[in-house]
Amino acid sequence: GGAAPLRPCSTRGAQDINKAVIDRIIRVDHAGEFGANRIYAGQMAVLGRSSVGPVIQQMWNQEKYHLKKFNELMVAYRVRPTVLLPFWNVAGFVLGAGSALLGKKGAMACTVAVEESISEHYNNQIRTLIEEDPEKYKELLQVIKQFRDEEQEHHDIGLEHDAEATPAYSVLKTAIQLGCKAAIFLSERI
């Protein structure tokens, strides 16, 4: 039953969509979910056997589903991935492992910073798609809204696990969020 929404390139849908907007959204969201998977992989490499390991694993499992969905959407909408995936592969893992080396609070501070940035980014995309045509992009809007809500849950989990108690929290959060903004800007375009 769920295959129908994944056929926008059929004769009916291809000329209806704003291809440039959709390409940009799907490319950057795929890159973001790819990067999130690498961050959680890095955190699990360091903290996987600690008391917070199951919490990180649970969030990572959701990110794995998000990435799977964007892989499907890339095929359905015929969107090429960003050429920066090899870089995000390494950078995401290093960010995840590096933040985890600061301990549980450091990993959670990273989660809060990243997920806050991603929730804001998804909200911007939702506004864009609603301005374009909410009915035409109904399925994509549903996916982005669901994932935004799950990213917000991850953000809240990070706060519940003492992210703000990390030494130099505001500096760390700002640095990570600047990196997220740069990654979003670049991944949308190249």
Query: Does a structural domain hold residue 11?
Result: no
Contact 110, 52 (CB under 8 A): no
5 occurs within a structural domain: no
d(Cα 58, Cα 169) in Å, to the nearest integer?
24
Interior/surface letters 29-59, b for 16+ CB within 10 angstroms, e for the rest = bbbbbbbbbbbbbbbbebbbebebeebbeeb
The predicted pLDDT at position 15 comes to: 52
Using one digit for the tens of pLDDT, what is the confidence trace for 78-94?
999 999 999 999 999 99
Q: Which domain holds residue 26?
A: 19-188
Q: Which CATH number fits the domain that encloses residue 46?
A: 1.20.1260
Residue 7 belongs to some domain of the structure: no
82 DSSP assignment: P
Helices (H), the chain: 11-14, 19-47, 53-76, 85-101, 104-132, 138-160, 169-189
Q: Reply yes or no on whether the pLDDT at 3 is more than 70.
A: no
Question: Is 2 within the bounds of a domain?
Answer: no
pLDDT in tens, 132-156: 999 999 999 999 999 999 999 999 9
Residue 13: pLDDT band with limits 50, 70, 90? very low
Contact 132, 18 (CB under 8 A): yes
Total structural domains in the chain?
1
pLDDT at residue 17, rounded to an integer: 86
Task: Report how far residue 62's alpha carbon sits from residue 137's, in angstroms, rounded to the nearest whole number.
Answer: 23
- Kindly state the average pLDDT of the residues 172-183: 97
In a domain, 92, yes or no: yes
pLDDT bucket at 49, cuts 50 / 70 / 90: very high
Domain membership flag for residue 8: no
User: How far is the C-alpha of 38 from the C-alpha of 92, rounded, in Å?
Assistant: 5
- Beta carbons of 67 and 133 less than 8 angstroms apart: no
Residue 172 lies in a domain: yes
Please report whether residue 6 resides in a domain: no
The answer, yes or no, to whether residue 9 has pLDDT greater than 90, is no
